Structure 1
Amino acid sequence: MKAVTYTAFGPAADVLNVQEIEARPPAPGEVTVDLAYSGVNPSDVKARAGARPGVTKPPFPVVVPHSDGSGIISAVGDGVDNSRIGQRVWIWNGQWQRAFGTAATQITLPAEQVVDLPDPVSLQTGAILGIPGLTASHTVFSGGEIEGQTLLIHGGAGTVGFLAVQLAKWGGARVISTASPRNFDRVKDAGADIVLDYNTPDLPEQIIAANNSQLVNRIVDVEFGQNVEIDTAVVAENGRINAFGSAQEMSPTLPFYPLMFKSVTLEMVLVYLLTSEVRAAAALRLNKALVANALHCPIQGVYSLEDCALAHQAVEAGKRSGAILIETI
């Protein structure tokens, strides 16, 4: 099979190569997927660059990058129903703790890591559902149903935030989101009831005012370290903060007593480590929202396997309006 590989950390143009590698048939409990698209996420780019603290070399001699993807099951191992052959699927954790990810024409992995893709949904959309989709679904619904509640979603213009706003509205919540003023229309189009400038100095007061002088029930946060004081000020008693990022401040000071005396639940979300039961619930919600036409997954660019380095550079550049995909067919 043809695959993008790297054997050392470094700039994308220097270390990513396309080569033929041997395909592996499915073992018991596994499936082989003929890939159509591979999603490129910030975590994939950071892993290739060697940006993770304390990691000095790739974990495997040869790495095929990327965790997310979509395609069609072409073979199954013992213990997997033959009826799965021919199914359109989306993939999660393709390269998590494994050498070979989705930047290839094929991938073989445990059957539970491929999810049926509803017929109305494109394979391009399917390649977005692994990391950003599951993160959005889990952070919005972790803790139970949200109908009638108010959610604050920080960074509603980002890849996860944009999906989270849509899912929260689909779930029946009132949504307040933060964003840069240049992205206000984008976040409003996603369904946010109120969009506020995340740089405004009186943001906590504006959030509370936007919620009819009430505190908010739940918070989805992409920059927990920067926002912890804001979150503490605006979260309601027995509220919940689901944080999936803190790149700007990795060692925040936690206002323990103010949070404790509101009995706030704080969840640090790492989508790679969701339990099977929790992940299945998040995946089911994604598929239901897609079938209901309640979830739009924008795509900024689609690249060839040979242009994978350009795709990585597009993710590194930031300020994207949609996902970056590799066409693997």
Structure 2
Amino acid sequence: MKAIVYRDTGGPDVLQLVERDRPTPKPGEVRVRVAVSGVNPTDWQARSGRAHRKLFPEITPHLDGAGVVDAVGDGVDPGRVGQRVWLFMAAAGRPTGTAAEFTVVPAEQAVPLPDEAGFDVGASLGVPALTAHRALTVAEDGPRRLHPGALDGTVVLAAGGVGAVGHAVIQLARWAGATVISTVSGPEKAKLATAAGAHHTINYREGDPAAAIRAIAPDGVDIVAEVALGANLALDLAVLRTRGTIATYANEGGHAVELNVGQNLVLNTRLQFLVLFTAGPQARAAAVEDVAAAIRDRALPVGEEHGLPMHRFPLHRTADAHRAVETGAVGKVLVDVTP
């Protein structure tokens, strides 16, 4: 089979296209013929050596993807062969991710994908959708599970709503009944956030964004899903309601985070840091179930018309796909692995 590998950490050029034997699923695992592989910031950060120490002599990257189960290990229902699935955390603690024609994962990490959902949708879930679910379910006064009506009466602020996680925050929050506000940097991104389902968009570079958000939510925002905590914390606190939650999954721009302790004490702010890998198995399992339900409800479409433009690369150009993510491509970067 064809696979992308790297043996040393570094820039995108360390990625190589090679021939490898098809992996054999062990007990409790499935082998998936990958159709589409999704690329996340975590993938290039791991490849560069920035995210964590390299654990294996050779690694096939990418956590997310979608395809068809073509073999199962002992203890897995043989009826799963031929099942369309979406994959998450494929390369987490393992050397074989989805940037290959075949990959092997624990059976629970290959989630059934409805026939009406394309492989593009499946490959765009994983890290972004599960992270978004986590951000929406950590509030003190909020639900731990999402379903239609779970966030009725809740105001959610999606910072950076045109990124893959922000896009999923908008879609899942809207599906669960929240009023969704997204901060954007200009009219083109406002158009994308609106297409994703945001009820309101606020250009944070113009006027008084805090006043504009307060005009929509006079009592304050319940949950902020934050992508750039250092840059946006002052705005977040200006619009947060008492006992509100700032769920932060990144710090884009790398700005220092300075906390006014007194202000946060008075607000009873919940500042929740989150990353999927250490969220815990129960939280991940709940997120998988709820995201699967949202897919069945057709609540997570992708494509520019749904607020998430697609940037596609063939397998042999995976290095270019990584460059696109590193340089801030707006939308979702996908690698087409097999037809």
TM-score category, normalised to shorter length: over 0.9
Distance 2:41 2:56 in 1: 20
2:71 to 75, 86, 106: 75
1:122 shift after superposition: 0.8
Question: Structure 2: which amino acid aligns with 1:325?
Answer: L
For the Cα contact (< 8 Å) 2:121–2:300, is it kept in 1? no
Task: Decide whether aligned partners of structure 1 residues 284 and 46 sit closer, same or farther in structure 2, where only a CA change above 3 A counts.
Answer: same
Corresponding position of 1:187: 193
Corresponding position of 1:203: 209
Corresponding position of 1:156: 161
Distance 1:243 1:255 in 2: 17
SS where residue 230 of structure 2 aligns?
A: helix
Q: CA RMSD in A?
A: 1.8
1:30 shift after superposition: 1.3
Task: Decide whether aligned partners of structure 1 residues 210 and 261 sit closer, same or farther in structure 2, where only a CA change above 3 A counts.
Answer: same
1:290 to 295, 298, 301: 295
Distance 1:305 1:157 in 2: 25
1:8 shift after superposition: 1.4
Deviations 1:224-274 (A, max 9, x none): 121222222221112111111113236411222322222222211101223
1:116 shift after superposition: 1.1
Question: Structure 2: which amino acid aligns with 1:164?
Answer: V
Corresponding position of 1:131: 127
2:90 to 73, 94, 97: 94
Corresponding position of 1:175: 180
For the Cα contact (< 8 Å) 1:163–1:297, is it kept in 2? no
Corresponding position of 2:326: 316
Distance 2:196 2:101 in 1: 33
Q: How many positions carry a matched residue from both structures?
A: 323
2:107 to 111, 120, 125: 111
Corresponding position of 1:5: 5
When normalised by structure 2's length, the TM-score is 0.89
Task: Decide whether aligned partners of structure 1 residues 117 and 142 sit closer, same or farther in structure 2, where only a CA change above 3 A counts.
Answer: farther
For the Cα contact (< 8 Å) 1:221–1:244, is it kept in 2? yes
Distance 1:161 1:259 in 2: 24
For the Cα contact (< 8 Å) 2:160–2:226, is it kept in 1? yes
Correspondence 1:240-319 to 2 at 5 A: 240-249=245-254, 251-298=256-303, 299-319=309-329
For the Cα contact (< 8 Å) 1:68–1:129, is it kept in 2? yes
Deviations 1:135-158 (A, max 9, x none): 122212334131111111111122
Question: Structure 2: which amino acid aligns with 1:64?
Answer: T
Question: Structure 1: which amino acid aligns with 2:77?
Answer: D
1:302 shift after superposition: 2.1
Distance 1:109 1:149 in 2: 36
Q: Percent identity?
A: 37
Corresponding position of 2:334: 325
1:17 shift after superposition: 1.0
Corresponding position of 1:234: 239
1:105 shift after superposition: 0.8
For the Cα contact (< 8 Å) 2:23–2:102, is it kept in 1? no
Distance 1:52 1:134 in 2: 19
For the Cα contact (< 8 Å) 1:134–1:282, is it kept in 2? yes
1:165 matches 2:158: no
1:17 matches 2:16: yes
Distance 2:299 2:20 in 1: 40
For the Cα contact (< 8 Å) 2:231–2:255, is it kept in 1? no
What 5-or-longer segments of structure 1 have no aligned partner?
Answer: none
SS where residue 89 of structure 1 aligns?
A: strand
Distance 2:78 2:194 in 1: 44
Question: Structure 2: which amino acid aligns with 1:59?
Answer: L
For the Cα contact (< 8 Å) 1:303–1:327, is it kept in 2? yes
Question: Structure 1: which amino acid aligns with 2:10?
Answer: G
What 5-or-longer segments of structure 2 have no aligned partner?
Answer: 144-149, 304-308
Distance 1:146 1:52 in 2: 33
2:116 to 113, 120, 138: 120
Question: Structure 1: which amino acid aligns with 2:41?
Answer: P
1:201 shift after superposition: 6.0
For the Cα contact (< 8 Å) 1:151–1:219, is it kept in 2? yes
